[in-house]
Amino acid sequence: MIFTQSALAGAYTIEMTRMEDERGFFARSYSAQEFAAHGLPADMPECSVSFNSRRGTLRGMHFQAAPHAEDKLVRCTAGAIFDVIVDLRAGSPTLRQWLGTELTSENRRSVFIPKGFAHGFITLSDASEVLYMISVPYAAGFERGVRWNDPALAIEWPTDPVVISARDAAYPLLGATTIA
């Protein structure tokens, strides 16, 4: 696995190292040992899937509040998405900065998202599926978010959303929102 530190402290892009032959390839998409060697959480006890039937579906910008903040490893297993993370950590040198990465079933790239980041994506194709590995069990009532189109963030989405939930559309503007 190839870990590339992003411009946002603690966030990584992860590429699989492929072993190819006439059958295709084999690659490791997660290794607790390699995560630990890079100083990342090695325990990911929860796994979730998001299926999105239509191109232009926007989900985000989500995070879980303390004490249930989550590290996430996100990968697109079908279709394509534009994945966005935003640093909301108080005192971070990259506070309120965002990073966008195209994740597709073809590039098989993953993004590691540390605690304290908001996360969202917009689908670039119909029938897109996203796999999440999560560091802590889900805790209802600790869901939070910031508006996907907050002018303070100025995220450059590659397309306008066609489908967005009422909850995601109504998240507050960033204002003073930061998390530990």
The pLDDT tens digits of the residues spanning 106-165 come to 999 999 999 999 999 999 999 999 999 999 999 999 999 999 999 999 999 999 999 999
pTM of the model as a whole: 0.92
In CATH, what class is 2-170? Answer: mainly beta
Whether residue 178 is predicted with pLDDT greater than 60 in this model: the reply is: no
* pLDDT bucket at 174, cuts 50 / 70 / 90: confident
Residue in 12, 62, 119, 171 annotated catalytic: 62
Q: What is the Cα gyration radius of the chain?
A: 16
* pLDDT bucket at 176, cuts 50 / 70 / 90: low
> Which residue spans within 22-178 are E strands per DSSP?
24-27, 46-52, 57-64, 72-78, 80-87, 98-104, 110-113, 117-123, 128-134, 143-145, 163-164
Percent of the chain with pLDDT over 90: 92
The pLDDT tens digits of the residues spanning 57-97 come to 999 999 999 999 999 999 999 999 999 999 999 999 999 99
pLDDT of residue 175: 75
Which of 148, 94, 138, 83 shows the shortest CA–CA distance to 116?
A: 94
Residue in 12, 30, 68, 132 annotated catalytic: 132
Give me the count of residues in the chain: 180
User: Is 132 noted as a catalytic residue in this protein?
Assistant: yes
Output the CA–CA distances (angstroms, integers) from residue 172 to 2, 11, 15, 29, 61, in the order listed.
36, 24, 34, 35, 10
